[in-house]
Structure 1
Amino acid sequence: MPATHAVFTTLPDLPAARALARTLVERRLAACVQLSAIESFYRWEGAVQHEPEVRLVCKTSAAGVAALQQAIVALHPYALPAVYALQLDGVHPPYAQWVADETAP
Structure 2
Amino acid sequence: MAAQFKLIFTTCKDENEARELAKALVERKLAACVNILPKVASIYIWEGEVVEATEAKLLIKTKLDKMNDVFLTIKALHSYEVPEIQVVDVATGNLAYFNWMDEVLN
The alignment's TM-score, normalised by the length of structure 1, stands at 0.93
Q: Gaps (5+ residues) in structure 2?
A: none
Matches within 5 A, 1:4-15: 4-15=5-16
**Residue identity opposite 1:6 in structure 2:** L
Number of the residue aligned with 2:56 = 54
Deviation at 1:69, TM superposition (A): 1.3
Q: Distance in 1 between matches of 2:63 and 2:36?
A: 19
Number of the residue aligned with 1:64 = 66
After TM superposition, where is structure 1 displaced by more than 3 Å over at least 4 residues in a row?
A: none
**Residue identity opposite 1:74 in structure 2:** A
How many residues are matched? 104
CA RMSD in angstroms comes to 1.2
Between 51-60 and 66-75, the greater mean CA deviation after superposition: 66-75
Matched, 1:73 2:70: no
Identity of aligned residues (%): 35
The alignment's TM-score, normalised by the length of structure 2, stands at 0.92
Number of the residue aligned with 2:17 = 16
- 3-state DSSP of counterpart to 1:97: helix
Once the two structures are superposed, residues 19-61 of structure 1 have per-residue CA deviations (whole angstroms, 9 ceiling, x without a partner) of 1111110110000000012110000011000000000000001
Q: Distance in 2 between matches of 1:49 and 1:103?
A: 37
Q: Gaps (5+ residues) in structure 1?
A: none
